Amino acid sequence: MNLNKLIFTENACYKAGQKIKVQGIMVHSTGANNPYLKRYVGPDDGKLGKNQYNNHWNQPMDRQVCVHGFIGKLQDGTIATYQTLPWDHRGWHAGGAANNTHTSFEICEDGLNDESYLKAVWKEAAELCAYLCKLYKLDPMKDGVIIGHYEGHQRGIASNHGDPRHWFSRFGKNMDDFRRDVKLLMSETGNEEKPKPVPSEGYPAKLTEGYYRVRKSWADKNSQLGAYRVLANAKKKADENKGYFVFAENGSKIYPREEALQPSETGQVHIVKSGDSLWKIAKTYLGDGSRYPEIKLLNGLTSNVIYAGQKLKLPVSAFLKVGDKVKITASRYATGETIPGWVKERTHTVSQIEKDKVLLGWPDGIASWVPLDGVKKI
């Protein structure tokens, strides 16, 4: 976490001088296409950059608004956090009773189409929440502790805003994912006891938003038999229908486990060394620490505990790249159509890779999408 401090001493909220007992954290996003911190935080400290309009929040304002921190870009593009109120100061962020119970921060939005930016601020925000949970002895998975502004409204303690759901959902993310990542960070840094195993290795038994979907493949939306909040119900539906699987909101196949073990045929492994964690390994090979459940699922792990010298199989996406030669192990294309035997006998070139599928042989070849876990590098 890149934590800086520039307290808004000129904002009327700070001057009001009221304190709270911190019982939770409210996550906001700004709702404006400007990822730079200088829009809200000022004056320039040499890292923020100059706000030419001088409309930052560290000054008298014509409305009651102030949060405890902001996450966004410095003038050089680096992601940073700025604390703008003491964390236990009563903020003006919720438009409701959450001002009396929750500390808060805003994430500076961009145009909502840059996944790399969301991943960067997501990581920074998760680290900030892990820090605050340690500071105030909060359990991030306890009901009502870490909530989005929209969840505050649903609880009747905040105004009617939709942030940050409208942004997170664009990239298959939600607040359940965020809380889980905070919990994992805390367990890795030793700030809290190791989390207990949860159903399907990292996926909650019951979702508060989003759905578990039962389909033949993630790409085949027409095959969907149902969408469920309760994981056990989704599993039951998949068990009753041969060839169907349970998928998380981000498209990851999470049940049954046997399907996820197929990529082990590639023989690609990571040998755990001292200091490793599932988050770090996922960050190294998959580019995103929050994808650690894929590694857990593939290796049949029931907890986040790993040991030096342990060999962990890696998902195909960890080592596959455009231009690689592969054989097809799947029986169906990403569309759900059957793959002919003669196609499976041939060697194919990877032309494009997406989250859960790979395009083979474009423009010279079969030019077809195949599930990512249905190819084997040769």
- Taking only the tens place, the pLDDT of each residue in 185-232 is 887 644 333 333 334 445 678 888 788 899 988 778 888 999 999 988
Task: Count the domains in the chain.
Answer: 4
> How confident is the model at residue 307, as a pLDDT?
73
The SS3 call for residue 294 is helix
Burial 316-352 (b: 16+ CB within 10 A, else e): bbbebeeeeebebbbebbbeeeebeeebeeeebbbbe
Provide the domain limits for residue 229: 198-256
> How confident is the model at residue 202, as a pLDDT?
53
55 with 132, same domain: the answer is yes
What's the pTM?
Answer: 0.54
Question: By the 8 A CB rule, do 11 and 57 touch?
Answer: yes
Average pLDDT over residues 322-345: 87
Question: By the 8 A CB rule, do 376 and 268 touch?
Answer: no
Of residues 93, 176, 82, the one with CA closest to residue 121 = 82
* Number of CB atoms found within 10 A of residue 309's CB: 9
Residue 50 lies in a domain: yes
373 with 239, same domain: the answer is no
Residue 353 lies in a domain: yes
> How confident is the model at residue 151, as a pLDDT?
95
Which residues 6+ apart lie within 8 Å of 370 measured at CB? 328, 330, 333, 334, 339, 357, 358, 360
> How confident is the model at residue 145, as a pLDDT?
97
Q: How confident is the model at residue 377 (pLDDT cuts 50, 70, 90)?
A: confident
116 with 241, same domain: the answer is no
State in Å, rounded, how far the first CA of the chain is from the last one: 40
> How confident is the model at residue 29, as a pLDDT?
97
Token pair 């023989």 is at which residue? 267
> How confident is the model at residue 362, as a pLDDT?
64
Q: β-strands 24-29, 146-148: how paired?
A: parallel
292 with 352, same domain: the answer is no
